[in-house]
Structure 1
């Protein structure tokens, strides 16, 4: 059974994606509320709550097959502070990496590492932050590459995320798991440009990961919507009308097209500030989409960060906030996953997590075959 450490664990979504065939040796998060959810769903035997910088190497048992780290995105996000890896939150990558190098010095370097973060990580500080991460990994004895995977391949949510996948240099990588160059599906132009800007030493250990095309997504936005949601209420007619009144002509046209479609249409709305008022004044707009995808879930720092559901059935239009359970479903969590009681806590847990089926996809296509091959070669050598 492969083993793993889960840093920045949140509610354990990486653990959910890895599945029961993996054994957790250690999990860590700084947030007490998220830790409570982790305990409620996974137990607390392997969980340590506190600053990642304060983790001690003797808390990390054994020699793990994987270290997963979905480190904080706030300083790397395009909507964030722009501090990058020097920021107080995203800069926690460095103490995490200090632990990995400490394990290496003890002969216990994890076989594989996965770092997950926002797309903006690629371009943060003109690509210098991405270069710093890749240089650290390669200088630490890993071959690595990166892919951008959108959760929309598996779930009705638009959520492109960067996944850096590193493999200890003594392990074999089969030809089927890497290619000679980038693919359009997993290596967008921004990532290719970032790779070109890497130092020669990091380029020499770069891997163009080869992922298969996933099966067609078998669930739509309507499949996650609750008719009788817990934690939110349907808007009154006046509240829905007020929301429609915040839409630009383009977005109202989308609603009218949905009315004329002859079928029940489910969409989502985000409120955004746009400079399209009189004389270019900034106004808050409600922007709607009916493409069978929710917008990317975000943490509920303010009202505009919370997503709204809109259902159009003929001339009848209803709206309300996305429910906590719907947010969890959009991340691929099962309905038996225990969510926090408070709305904002549950929404924050989901919006700050990693999409469960994407973790499974990477584990199945890359991590598990490499780890199994390493185990096989070790047994042969013995």
Structure 2
């Protein structure tokens, strides 16, 4: 595997590049391709020596691809056509054009890559795009394996369930791949987030009062008793590290800059996913984190001396001023971009250019992937 040459498509902020480094595989990224100007600015900041192409993939000719000496393709195509909250346009969505172009090019390359790794959201596994991918790989002589993985399987307290496919150019079927996958990514004891369920998550009304937990306490965030039990199970899973391990030192964070504003507290208190430093769970951070509330990521309770039940019990009976005073006792804040990056496996050497705003940082992180999960898959692919 010495001198493995890697082509990084949809390179974003360099998650795949960092995964190659973490995997320990001797390799060089010969080119990275993306059209997002903010992501490219961050990528170049961290990998100044890598050849970064600010081009659309479908704008690169077959001859240009043939001139690139690569043994592996790493890619994370646009996920919007497949997300459960989107229109699910699949191959009819214009954003899949570049991916379909790659599938068209692959059989025509003068030298096909020996290895391929692809990442996408849950939903891709049942798409027509995935069917075309599998058909193309089989026609080109690849052996492949698919898996749905979340960082919790590697001990990280964050839900980010994603589809992965690894493929190698070989006519010999590796019958051990499936068992190796299970060893590398043990399943959590319980379903670790609603996005892992096979059925759609039932919608809850936008308004309403918190339920009573049969075991005592208040079900904030308009949760069901089943959801509360799932969170308890996650927090008792000692194979997963605590949130506190991924937080910045208090001396490095001006918490005042990340506190939830009063309007957000009053309007969305029952929808917040609240975690403490001792928790072993958090929900997936999306590109809307910091701007939208429900389903975009967890918030951190900084004042752990304040009991959650004391704050939420009887909250609906209070005036707005009284509600706000109770909620402020929790000192709820957003995770900083650096903390989100920590939970997504980015090394301490990763940094943002100063001119990139906090909003932009959250956005590009939400579009990225978990470095540690990809590193393990690369090790498995090349083992």
In 2 relative to 1, CA 307–344 (structure 1 residues): closer, same or farther, beyond 3 Å?
farther
**Distance in structure 1 (CA, Å) of the matches to 2:247 and 2:342:** 9
Pairing 1:114–2:117 present: yes
**Distance in structure 1 (CA, Å) of the matches to 2:255 and 2:81:** 30
1:136-175 matched pairs, under 5 angstroms = 136-154=136-154, 155-170=156-171, 172-175=172-175
**Helix, strand or coil: the match of 1:82?**
coil
**Distance in structure 2 (CA, Å) of the matches to 1:181 and 1:71:** 23
Q: Shift of the alpha carbon at 1:32? A: 1.2
TM-score, length-scaled by structure 1: 0.69
User: Which of 39, 47, 51 is residue 44 of structure 2 equivalent to?
Assistant: 39
1:48-87 matched pairs, under 5 angstroms = 48-60=53-65, 61-87=67-93
- Contact 2:255–2:333 (Cα < 8 Å) also in 1: no
- Contact 1:26–1:46 (Cα < 8 Å) also in 2: yes
TM-score, length-scaled by structure 2: 0.69
**Distance in structure 1 (CA, Å) of the matches to 2:86 and 2:37:** 23
**Helix, strand or coil: the match of 2:147?**
strand
Number of corresponding residues: 298
Q: Shift of the alpha carbon at 1:168? A: 1.4
Q: Shift of the alpha carbon at 1:218? A: 6.3
In 2 relative to 1, CA 360–39 (structure 1 residues): closer, same or farther, beyond 3 Å?
same
**Distance in structure 1 (CA, Å) of the matches to 2:245 and 2:336:** 13
Pairing 1:318–2:321 present: no
Task: Please name the residue that 1:17 is paired with.
Answer: 19
**Distance in structure 1 (CA, Å) of the matches to 2:119 and 2:49:** 23
Task: Please name the residue that 2:33 is paired with.
Answer: 28
Deviations 1:323-352 (A, max 9, x none): 110111111111221224311221122111
User: Which of 99, 104, 116 is residue 98 of structure 1 equivalent to?
Assistant: 104
- Contact 1:4–1:26 (Cα < 8 Å) also in 2: yes
- Contact 1:298–1:306 (Cα < 8 Å) also in 2: yes
- Contact 2:148–2:163 (Cα < 8 Å) also in 1: yes
User: Which of 343, 350, 367 is residue 337 of structure 1 equivalent to?
Assistant: 350
**Distance in structure 2 (CA, Å) of the matches to 1:146 and 1:51:** 27
- Contact 1:84–1:91 (Cα < 8 Å) also in 2: no
In 2 relative to 1, CA 217–360 (structure 1 residues): closer, same or farther, beyond 3 Å?
farther
Q: Shift of the alpha carbon at 1:148? A: 0.9
Task: Please name the residue that 1:354 is paired with.
Answer: 369
Deviations 1:253-304 (A, max 9, x none): xxxxxxxxxxxxxxxxxxxxxxxxxxxxxxxx33435652221111128423
Pairing 1:224–2:275 present: no
In 2 relative to 1, CA 307–289 (structure 1 residues): closer, same or farther, beyond 3 Å?
closer
Deviations 1:72-103 (A, max 9, x none): 10110111121012212234311222332331
CA RMSD of aligned residues (A): 3.2
In 2 relative to 1, CA 2–311 (structure 1 residues): closer, same or farther, beyond 3 Å?
same
**Distance in structure 1 (CA, Å) of the matches to 2:349 and 2:180:** 43
**Helix, strand or coil: the match of 1:327?**
helix
**Distance in structure 2 (CA, Å) of the matches to 1:62 and 1:50:** 15
**Distance in structure 2 (CA, Å) of the matches to 1:357 and 1:351:** 16
Pairing 1:368–2:356 present: no
Q: Shift of the alpha carbon at 1:174? A: 4.4
- Contact 1:13–1:355 (Cα < 8 Å) also in 2: yes
1:121-140 matched pairs, under 5 angstroms = 121-124=124-127, 128-140=128-140
Identify the range of structure 1 (146-155 vs 33-42) with the bigger mean alpha-carbon deviation.
146-155
Structure 1's unaligned 5+ residue stretches are: 194-215, 249-284, 370-382
**Distance in structure 2 (CA, Å) of the matches to 1:318 and 1:30:** 39
Q: Shift of the alpha carbon at 1:26? A: 1.6
Deviations 1:147-193 (A, max 9, x none): 111112232211111001222134x454433469999957x9x99x9
**Distance in structure 2 (CA, Å) of the matches to 1:231 and 1:102:** 54
